[in-house]
Chain A
Amino acid sequence: MVPLTALQPGQTGLIHRLRGGHRFVSRLAALGFTPGAPVTVTRNHGIGPLIVAVRETQVALGRGEAGHVLVYLEGDGDATVSQG
């Protein structure tokens, strides 16, 4: 299980959980960041915000915010759901 910031561009993870305050969780949940949803990183340059694709949409996420999104990587032993 890794934070979204650990993913390279092109890598996909399945959302495990969101850490953070209620408003943060609720906002991301509305955008489709719900457990089990696949998220693909489009841009991650080590510094600055990320761009990720979730539920057909490109979303820019601040680095701090992306660090609070925990995902399973494909092939991760913990992953219980395979990517569809």
Chain B
Amino acid sequence: MQRLARVETETAAPHVGECVTIKVALAGQPNVGKSTIFNGLTGMNQHVGNWPGKTVEQKTGGCARGDKQFDFVDLPGTYSLTANSEEERLARDYILHERPDVVVAVVDAAIPERSLYLLAELLLLPAPVVLVLNMMDVAAHEGIQVEPRVLEAALGIPVVPMSATKHQGFEALLDAVVAVWEGAYPYNPHRPVILPAHQTVLEELIMWVATYVPKPYPADWVALKLLEGDDEIVTMMQSALPADVWGRVHNTLLHHEDAILDIAGARYAWISRMIRAAVVRPKVGPMGLTARLDRVLTHPLWGTLALLGVLAVVFWLTYTIGSPLQGWLDALIQQGAEALRNGLQGALPRWTVDLLADGLVGGAGMVVTFLPILVIFFAVLGFLEDTGYMARAAYITDRFMHVMGLHGKSFLPLLLGFGCNVPAILGTRIIETKRARWLTILLAPLIPCTARMAVVAVLAPLFFGEAAVWVAWGLAAVNLGVLAVLGVVFHRFLLKGEQAMFIMELPLYHLPNARTIGLYVWQNVVAFLQKAGTVILAASVVVWLLSYFPANGDVTQSYLAWIGKGLAPVGALMGLPWMLMVALLTSFVAKENTIATLGVLYGNFEAVLPALITPPAALGFLVVQMLFIPCIATVAAVKQETRSWAWTLLNLGLMLVISFGAGILVYQIGALLVGG
């Protein structure tokens, strides 16, 4: 792929007969349909990764049309370009440092005033902007008339009407990008200006800093950000300016501390002028769909009941459809492993055959059998997210989360945790403050994931028969109870720092888009396979080796048994033989390993265990199993997201202590009551 070294859009002409690449950045506020446009432009030809050195997701992708190749970068969705969050810094740094050929600014035609605020900031950066009026269909439905041509005349930049969910406007968008890039479009933006009251101050600041501003920042932009009180730019200029100049600048800034409000106010005034002729709102329309739904869904009582109902449906769908599929896949994989064993028998040494059939295929199978449940779970969550309901769920849960020093935004990652803890940890990225984010990460592994519930589903009926369902519910409740207590303790006594701000837009409800949900599922499942799949597979092979050697297949003489016997004293406190301690240990690799290990150690454990272990010990074991240290993939995710070994080890140590403590407590009390 060749790139043209170009600085100004006006100077370059496309090379005839040669493929040229246009670098396009997609910017927009959250909930304006930017992802749908990005997905529509790139299809499956996209790459999801992280911004270099950051934990913010970065999506890139491309498409080709004629002799032109378009490289798209999906900038994080942000309301403004001040250094309030990592996302905002990344978005503006990308435009300043990487200099995209064209920036596409996406706004929601149904709420043009609010969503044009970002454009007011983008126009101050050194890259030409094409404006997309997305959701024209929604606007029309709400009775809002938007005239793209009138807006274009006012703004002096190309304005493209789109309805991305209906695949309308994509060609026109690419046309506009090319026209701006080629210089064929008379690009002459009308930029917002600052209030007269601050004009003199701004000019003064520009004069003072101009010669010291580091590349590639424009001096007038830096001066404006100083006046806005932007932390990052203030710090940057403090070190770039000589002491006396900084003294003057600093003094001036102290006198204009509230300037941000006036600057934002002036931008909104500018927006009002731009859209005055272009947007006609209905005087008093019928009550919109969103308002009618929210009368129920954000009501303190009805909204809470609705949320519980939604959660019930989520879990019902996940388990009733997912579990049979899981069983079916499991059987299929075991058949495959047997076929492999029979096929290779004699051709390779016995341990190699066993390693391939049991360690490798078995480990891969474990990952595969999780897919149905994860796909269904993410599909339902993607659906709720795409309709706009998730923001309401966060609002409803905010008052409950507040007790733990968290707020509603922590609800979504915790909910993801019921599917798998790994996406839950990754999902904490939506939480803005570090304190709230780290606390959510600490608590997320306590959410009973599908793997742990699967173990309970197998073991509980052996000991508790008909009552197994209630035991399962009780165990899940214990986990959530421990989570709540731990949250309160950390919030009240251990973690100092600011309470997280809860400021969240409630977007308009709209019909979900199958493609968006599909990609959401796809990306989450791929992330799971990459993060968890590889680790589970590798660890499964290691455990297999430990259980096979040095006695060539006799597990009772293996390294694993040796470790388990070392833990026997702890097990004795819970009335558990060493085999169950080994089963717990292997659950560190993947929770469902507990069952596999019991199978290896006992053979037909369903028949043997009930006679060996008393109900109090069994209950104790299940409690430990539910609260035990998270699986290795979750631990890896915690380390990756916090970049802190201390926090990761704290997490592990805490869960180890809590789980054994709770297990010993349950067994000892149970033994006292019914006799162990």
Contacts and interface: CB of A to CB of B under 8 A. Distances in A.
B504 A60 contact: yes
Contacts of A64: 499, 502
A59 B408 contact: no
A49 B408 contact: yes
Interface in B337-353: none
Interface string B408-421: 10000000000000
Nearest to A45: B300
Nearest to A23: B84
B71 interface: no
B506 A29 contact: no
Contact of A57 (B262, B264, B505): B505
A8 interface: no
Interface in B271-304: 290, 294, 298, 300
B265 A62 contact: no
Contacts of B113: 32, 55-56
A74 interface: no
Contacts of A31: 79, 114, 503, 505
A55 B560 CA distance: 64
B260 A60 contact: no
A6 to B, nearest CB: 19
Contact of A58 (B79, B84, B229, B294): B294
B261 interface: yes
Contacts of A60: 391, 394-395, 398, 408, 502-506
Contact of B228 (A26, A47, A58, A65): A26
Contact of B298 (A23, A34, A43, A47): A43
Nearest to A59: B505
Contacts of B540: none
Given A27-B503, A62-B503, A32 B260 contact: no
Contacts of B506: 51, 57-60
B319 interface: no
Nearest to B118: A30
A24 B501 contact: yes
A25 B395 CA distance: 21
A21 B503 CA distance: 14
A62 B261 contact: no
Contact of B114 (A22, A27, A32): A32
Contacts of B264: 26, 29-30, 32, 34
Contacts of B407: 49, 62
- Counting from the closest, the 3 A-B pairs by CB-CB distance are A62-B502, A30-B80, A29-B264
A34 B79 CA distance: 14
A30 B408 contact: no
Nearest to A46: B300
Contact of A48 (B114, B229, B263, B399): B399
A29 B503 contact: no
Interface of B: 79-80, 82, 84, 111, 113-114, 117, 228-231, 258, 260-265, 268, 290, 294, 298, 300, 391, 394-395, 398-399, 402, 407-408, 499, 501-506
A10 interface: no
B409 to A, nearest CB: 10
A37 interface: yes
A59 B503 contact: yes
Nearest to A21: B498
Contacts of B231: 22-23
Contacts of B499: 64
Contacts of B501: 23-24, 27, 62, 65
A24 B399 CA distance: 20
A27 B84 contact: yes
Contact of B502 (A18, A26, A65): A65
11 contacts: A26-B82, A30-B79, A30-B84, A32-B113, A32-B114, A35-B261, A49-B408, A51-B294, A51-B395, A55-B113, A64-B502
A22 B265 CA distance: 16
Nearest to B400: A48
A30 B407 CA distance: 21
Given A59-B503, A65-B501, 8 more contacts: A18-B261, A25-B261, A27-B503, A32-B264, A35-B261, A37-B268, A49-B408, A58-B290
Nearest to A61: B503
B117 A30 contact: yes
Contacts of B114: 31-32, 55-57
Nearest to A34: B265
A58 B505 contact: yes
A28 B264 CA distance: 10
Given A17-B261, A61-B502, A32 B398 contact: no
B454 to A, nearest CB: 36
A67 interface: no
Interface string A42-81: 1101011101000111111110110000000000000000
B399 A22 contact: no
Contacts of B260: 22, 25-26, 29
Contacts of A35: 261-262, 265
B505 A30 contact: no
B385 to A, nearest CB: 16
Which residue of B111, B231, B407, B503 has the most chain A CB atoms within 10 A of its CB atom? B503
Given A22-B260, A65-B503, A55 B268 contact: yes
A57 B117 contact: no
A49 B268 CA distance: 26
A42 B117 CA distance: 23
Given A25-B260, A37-B268, A62-B398, A48 B503 contact: no
A30 B119 CA distance: 12
Which residue of A22, A30, A64 has the most chain B CB atoms within 10 A of its CB atom? A30
Contacts of A34: 261, 264-265, 268
